[in-house]
Each structure stands twice: as structure tokens, then as C-alpha cells.
Structure 1
């Protein structure tokens, strides 16, 4: 729980902090800089505490792992509490350090319609969980690259969806800033959308996960060689 709280704290502090600094100081960070910051901080924290807690940092990811039988249900509430606590402390820190005006708000608000933002949040959350499932739960993947793959996926998602929905992908990332600044516009989108996307993404990967055997074992079998010769 401590690892999840600390990891979530720094993910929110760095990512949302980049948004605040960019809005308060004449776009010094720039939009690409914000995207890179989100990707880098997730990557750094995955490598820092991933071996302790699994580095979920996201209630939607924790719930999906449980549904896919990769995480015990009894620990889900504890992880979500830790993630919400980390986000709350990070949001509070930013509010203390900066004069967060409405123009410097670091939460997520739909730029267009709620339906448009809901759709894109589901899609990018699907992509995130699909990648996490592939690089972090499949023994055939190169596990050492999981942090890089997940961080780059976050960065890409923010590039694509940032101007539309804010690219939350994480209920904890949106809920606490909304409560801190009492701005609840479209908040339901970020509570419902990410879990839908991550659950479908996780289940989809499990659907195509045809075996638990590593590729090097499959290539030794004659049946595999016969199959490849027919392609």
C-alpha cells in the first residue's frame, strides 16, 4: 500500500504539475513536454516500485487485474485506497505550492461533448491495459522492458487524447483534482470510461493469449514447425 501511495503521488505530482506549470508560466513546458512528462514519470515509478506492489497506480488497472484473476479481490479495496490517498496528497501539494487559477486547473474536463470524451477514454484505456497485459503478465514478453512500454503508451495516449478528454485513463487522476478545486464537470466520464476500457482490454489480451509456454519452447515442437511450414 505504501508503494502504491508513493508511486501514485509522484505520478500525479509530476504529470499534473507539468500541466500547472505550463498554464501558469506561459507554456514553458509545452504540450509535447506534458506528454513526455506523463510517460517518463510512469516509467520511472514502474521501475522504482513495480517489484514491490506491481505498480498499478490506477484503480481501473487494479480492478482489471482482479477480474482477470491476476490479483486477489481482497486486496483491491486496499490498493484503491492507497491510490486515492496518493492522488489526494499530490493534488493538495500542487494547490499549496501554486496559485491554481481556473485557467491553471490540472484536472480533466471534456473539451467537446461528454460522449466524445467517454469514447476516447475507453479506447485509450483499452490500449493501456492491452499493453500492460502483454508486457507485464505474459511470460513470453521481455519483462525488463515493461516500464518503457507502459510509459510510452501513456505518452502516446496523452498526445492523442490530451486535447480532447485530458487523457485521464485513471479515475484517481481525475477525482482528487476535481474535489480539490470543486470542479465536477464531466467527472462521471473519467470514473466510468477508464474501467470499461481496461476491463475490455485485459479480457481481450487474455482471449488471444493462446499458451503460457514461452516461444522458445513452442519452436522446439514438431507441430509448431509443421504449422509454420504451411504458412
Structure 2
């Protein structure tokens, strides 16, 4: 809960603060905020909860045996509650409607769906690789994961809003009661995450020639 709260509050904060200046959040600012927040969370709470702040990641890791299914419902509930609390806090701090913090497609539903799916595929593949092969990057794993998320947000931002996280989109949607095309952000990241974890599993099982 705490991790998702911090993540959504930081992401919503950069969006809201730029709106208060009368401009839209620059994509680079948004991506940098997302990436840096993940880096901070990995190094601060990674040893406590595994830094699970994304339901798509939690489901994918459980599906391939990297996380116990028995803990998935509680983790997802905590992630959603953390996102809702962050959206409410964002409204209180910045005095704006939570509509500003919702994610919306920029290039149509199909393009947004594919963008979210591909981005989560990449991110989860990277996460699986660096966490399951600790010796390859060692203490730099948090930086690698944060950079992959920042990159994913950069390439998906103009198309889908760069959510990559069902909880990140659902919290502000619940608070604002705006569920327009929310299905994209609830399904595409999960499918992409599952495919990313599957690809890593397949490559790990391939014999070295």
C-alpha cells in the first residue's frame, strides 16, 4: 500500500503541479518522476515487500512461480487502496480535480492497448531478468528497473498516457468517478506482464548452444 501510494502521489503530483502553472506535464518530467520513484521504492522497501506496486507485475510473477498466489489478493487490494489514497491526497494538496490525474488514450483505443501491452512486456522482462539473475547487475538492479520504466513511459506517453500499472489508473478513476476506457489500463498491462514473464521463462529454459 505504501509503495503504490508514494508512486501514484509522485506521478500525480508532477501532473498536477504543472497544471497549476497552466501547462501540461512535459513527457520527460513524467517519465523521470516515474523512473526515479521506482528506484527509490526498490531500495527503500524492496527488502520488505519486494516493492510490489503494480498488480500486473504481481499477477505475472505469481503465474510463473516467483510469488505465492495466496498473497496476490491482499497485495492487489493494498495497491488499489494506496492508489485511491494518493488520488485523494493529490486533490487535497493541489486543490484540483482528480480528473487531471487519470490516464487517457492519446491515439485511439487500439494503439493505446498495444502500447501498454508492449511496454509492460518490456518492463516485466527486464525485472525478471535482473531479479532472477542477481549476479548480472547486482546492486544496480534498482537503477536498471527504474530506467526501463522511464523508457517505457517515454515511448507510451503520447499514445496511452504511460500508465503501465492498473492500480495507477484505477485509483484516480475511482476518486473522479471517470471510468472512460479504463478497461485498457486494467487488461493490457496484465497481458503484457504475463507475456514478458513467459518470454523470460522460455529464454531461461533454452539450452545454450
TM-score by length of 1: 0.85
* Residues 2 and 82, structure 2, Cα contact 8 Å, conserved in 1: yes
Which runs of 5 or more residues in structure 1 are unaligned?
212-223
Partner of 1:176: 171
Partner of 2:40: 44
Partner of 2:96: 100
SS at match of 2:9: helix
How many matched pairs? 208
In the TM superposition, residue 124 of structure 1 has moved relative to its aligned partner by: 0.2
Which one has the bigger helix percentage? 2
Cα distance in structure 2, aligned partners of 1:80 and 1:90 = 15
Cα distance in structure 1, aligned partners of 2:28 and 2:192 = 24
Is 1:164 matched up with 2:159?
yes
Q: Which has the higher contact order (CA 8 A, sep 6+)?
A: 2
Is 1:119 matched up with 2:114?
yes
In the TM superposition, residue 139 of structure 1 has moved relative to its aligned partner by: 4.0
Which runs of 5 or more residues in structure 2 are unaligned?
none
Quote the RMSD (CA, aligned, Å): 1.8
Change in 2 beyond 3 A, CA 1:75/1:189: same
SS at match of 1:209: helix
Partner of 1:20: 16
Is 1:32 matched up with 2:28?
yes
* Residues 35 and 149, structure 2, Cα contact 8 Å, conserved in 1: yes
Match of 1:88 among 78, 81, 84: 84
Change in 2 beyond 3 A, CA 1:143/1:81: farther
* Residues 21 and 28, structure 1, Cα contact 8 Å, conserved in 2: no
Match of 1:150 among 142, 145, 150: 145
SS at match of 2:136: coil
Higher Rg: 1
Partner of 1:54: 50
SS at match of 1:105: helix
SS at match of 1:141: helix
With 27-36 and 130-139 compared, the bigger mean Cα shift is at 27-36
In the TM superposition, residue 28 of structure 1 has moved relative to its aligned partner by: 8.3
Partner of 1:216: none
